[in-house]
Chains A and B, each alone.
Chain A
Amino acid sequence: MGNNGLTIHIREMKKIYRIGKIAVPALIGVDLDIASGEFVAIMGPSGSGKSTLMNIIGALDIPTSGKYFLDDVDVGKLNDNELAIIRNKKVGFVFQTFNLLSRENVFGNVELPLIYAKERIRNKKQKILDAIESVGLTDWIRHRPNELSGGQKQRVAIARALVNNPSIILADEPTGNLDSRTGEEIIGIFQKLNKAGKTIIIVTHEMDIAEHTQRTIFLRDGVISGQEDVTEQLDAEEILKKMPRLEDKL
């Protein structure tokens, strides 16, 4: 389909919301390519179209016009059911407010994407346990979200995003509700996953979060206003070593 092996291929993408008779443009012509295995940050002030772009990349919404290919699939032409399948198979969401199901324990939350997978999944339990182990929560498997700290909740969300082995992990302000040390830890997990080959897109408005990625895309007034490769990528593991623990200050 001429996307040159790219995971994400966006051309001339527009999104116009209609509120009554008024047309409100959110995106007015976005071109964006993200290759497999990249770690990208999308930055922009509020009102820049950041959320709209993220929703479309995450197959929660479709563009008004233009092209959006995710792994060779023309997402812009899909119906509700097909979009749900894309979200289930190809996208792993991580939200600022974690968005865990409070009634399910860690295992149940991580299991969720597999419940909605259409086909029968082999080694389902092992997959869930592996995902939980990769975020270091093996000891917390039977705990409910309200028994976990913010950082732990976000780890559960990452495990849930990973479990179905998606093409992209899409994180919307993943450190926004966390203190700086915990935030750094979460970014560390993303860096580790990226090193293992995962494609990760983080939407953020914090520059120092963006500096942990490989490339930053700036969005302004519905268009991409600039892009730059991060020359000196910050290493979360190094920073954490230098960072004092909160408990140490007491």
Chain B
Amino acid sequence: MRRLTENIRIAFHSLLLNKSRSFLTMLGIIIGVGAVVAMLSIGAGAQESVISSVQDIGSNLIMITPGNNEEEGQYGPPVMSAGDTAELDIDDVKAIKRDATLITEVAPVVMGAGVVSYMNKNTQPQIFASSENGRSIYNMNIEKGKFYSRSAVSSSSNVVVLGQTVVKKLFGKIDPIGKIVKINGHNFKVIGTLESRGTDSFGNDQDNSISIPVTTAQNKLFGSDSYTMILAQSINEEQIHAASGEIEDILRKSRNIRFGEKNDFTVQNQTQLLDVVSNITNIFTVVIAGIASISLLVGGIGIMNIMLVSVTERTREIGIRKAIGAKNRDILIQFLVESIVLSITGGILGILFATLIATIINSFTVLETSINAFPIIIALSFSTVVGLFFGIYPAMRAARLNPIDALRHE
């Protein structure tokens, strides 16, 4: 222990003696570790924001969309195509309501775009049309007023609930409740406003939306009796896969899909979406690990190079130490400690550098970053390994020097 602290002291001493050279040598490690930690923090930040937005929506949410997404290889929100024959309609909702045991709520959803205007201002928000229970399934909260009722849905009332962005654009500081807005030319009464939800994980403004009864949307705006999707809520998070399976069975039966035929609909739940995200993050991590190992390799070669120079420069010192009683092992450890100190110092500076970068990214871009212990521990242990691996050859060269030749070295 005493010998080790002595060696660390000697190592710092000789690194400080050549400050600029030591720094330039460490630069490879600093940049390598810095880049990796910074990128992993961006990845972790993205993952965290996806997870939190999924949890915002509700982790026991099940989405049923028309068509077979798995077959088409899509994930996420549905894209309706013109030739889609396998539409979802009221019969599907009824079948689920009647037969499902693991489901608490079912709500049809029609999504579309429309022009909303008030006085001389207009905007084009996302239209989210659903039934009265769509609000709770989708975790939307009312800020002012109220959400449309069951009777408003059954009577296709012209009522609308506005998102915050729409309120801001059309009304500014004026209270919108009770005002009449035009949606695609039809008059609608504003009965409520939604609490702000911020942006989703894809960067979309979730507040730039309005919600109207699904029947109104079908009958008066879009003239169709199909749904964009059906939302369902499982009784709890643990039962979400069972609930998804149950829905699949019910729909196959009610839609007369024969055994062996593929589904003409897709049942997705939030945990599947999380799986997709973690898959993407894992790929990202592997790519970064690749970049990291290359830059650490380059940094390590830099260290080996400088350590070889250092051994040559200090041949005489090695000779003196050996003449005085240093064993090969003492010299080996001295130079090994020096290269490890060099690489760990580089690693620590790299982490500080990454923290700085992450803070800058966090405050000046939309990306969120999150630095946690994992990449720091990995970075430090990797830079130690690099120092050890690339230090061993120069250190062995130093240790094997013949003391007589080393003393004679000019």
Do A and B bind? yes
A99, B404: Cα distance in complex, Å: 13
Q: Does A32 contact B (CB under 8 A)?
A: no
A115, B2: Cα distance in complex, Å: 9
A55, B408: Cα distance in complex, Å: 12
B3, B6, B324, B328: residue with the most chain A Cβ atoms closer than 10 Å: B324
Q: Report chain B residues within 8 Å CB of A61.
A: 404
Whether B326 pairs with A93 at a CB distance below 8 angstroms is: no
Stretch at the interface among A82-90, A202-210, A240-248: A82-90
Whether A116 pairs with B330 at a CB distance below 8 angstroms is: yes
Contacting B at CB under 8 A, from A90-109, are: 93, 95, 99-101, 103
Q: Contact string, B85-109, partner A, CB cutoff 8 A, digits 1/0?
A: 0000000000000000000000000
Whether B324 pairs with A103 at a CB distance below 8 angstroms is: no
Whether A113 pairs with B320 at a CB distance below 8 angstroms is: no
Range, interface on chain B: 20 to 34
Contacting A at CB under 8 A, from B309-344, are: 316-317, 319-330
B326 contact from A84, A100, A103, Cβ within 8 A? A84
Whether A60 pairs with B323 at a CB distance below 8 angstroms is: yes
A221, B329: Cα distance in complex, Å: 36
What total of chain A residues lie within 8 Å of the partner, measured CB to CB?
24
A103, B11: Cα distance in complex, Å: 12
A87 contact from B3, B14, B317, B323, Cβ within 8 A? B323
Question: Which chain B residue has the least Cβ–Cβ distance from A89?
Answer: B325
Given contacts A99-B316, A103-B13, A116-B330, contact A87 B324 (CB under 8 A): yes
Q: Does A231 contact B (CB under 8 A)?
A: no
- A-B contacts, 20 listed (Cβ < 8 Å): A55-B404, A60-B403, A60-B407, A61-B404, A80-B327, A81-B327, A81-B329, A84-B322, A85-B327, A87-B322, A87-B325, A88-B325, A89-B325, A99-B316, A99-B320, A103-B17, A115-B6, A116-B324, A116-B330, A160-B324
Starting from the known contacts A81-B328, A84-B322, A84-B326, 17 additional A-B residue pairs (CB-CB under 8 Å) come to A60-B323, A60-B403, A81-B327, A81-B329, A88-B325, A93-B323, A99-B319, A99-B407, A101-B317, A103-B14, A103-B17, A112-B321, A116-B325, A116-B326, A116-B330, A160-B324, A164-B325
